[in-house]
Amino acid sequence: MSTVLAFDVYGTLIDTQGINEQLQELVGDQTPTFSQRWRDKQLEYAFRRSLMGAYADFSQCTRDGLEFVDRALQTQLSDNDKDALMATYGRLPAFTDAADALARLADSSKLRCVAFSNGSREAVNGLLEQAGILEYFEDIVSVEEVKRFKPDPAVYAHLHNRLEVAAQDVWLISSNPFDLIGAKHAGLHVTWIRRSAEAPFDTWGGEPDMTVSDLNELVDRIT
């Protein structure tokens, strides 16, 4: 039986810091703070919507996060500025290791690669296509199909049920500890892509089954 590698998208394959060049032009020295708080609020709103049973597309969580941080930091972005930032968010670049690592995985007959994301299928398809890595995925599994967000157990159950494999035959590949803890709780194996040596893992979630510094190290260890 083949093993499924389910790749998180935002922050794992796609670099969410790719927005920073455009932010620099708009908010200057506040860029690092603005970028991090925007990402944090995007995820917070997804978590809250999932708990409330008030699902909205991930892009709405992203826009709401942008609106909040603009108010909180008093950056006074115009509607045109916000629209332009949201458009760029739909064209974020892949990490430099993604294409090479995925191409190497494509040579294995024992591995199935899927993208698994909080983003809508349409948004993820567009991101992966413009980044030149869509061809390496058998499928895109989006949480919109169950209208819950990671780390709700329902989304991980949906992942392995839709792919018709047991939970233990799926490895989640992610740089986001909250995602990994959720997947491990749901019975999946997990690999942490620890892109920064300073990045901590949550102390209460148990250790990942595997930790690597980038996607190429992942391929080296599993093929």
Catalytic annotation, residues: 8
Is the Cβ–Cβ distance between 45 and 65 less than 8 Å? yes
CA 98 → CA 13, 103, 174, distances in Å? 6, 8, 12
Residue 189, SS3 per DSSP? strand
Question: Are 124 and 142 within 8 A, CB to CB?
Answer: yes
Q: How far apart are CA 198 and CA 211, in angstroms?
A: 13
Q: How far is CA 72 from the centre of its chain?
A: 25
Residue 122: HSE in the Cβ half-sphere, 13 Å Cα cutoff: 3
| Cβ(214)–Cβ(97) below 8 Å | yes
**What does the chain come to in residues?**
223
Q: Are strands 170-174 and 189-193 parallel, antiparallel or unpaired?
A: parallel
- Whose tokens are 């190429």? That residue is 216
Are the C-beta atoms of 151 and 174 separated by less than 8 Å?
no
**∠ CA 222-8-184, rounded to 5°:** 70
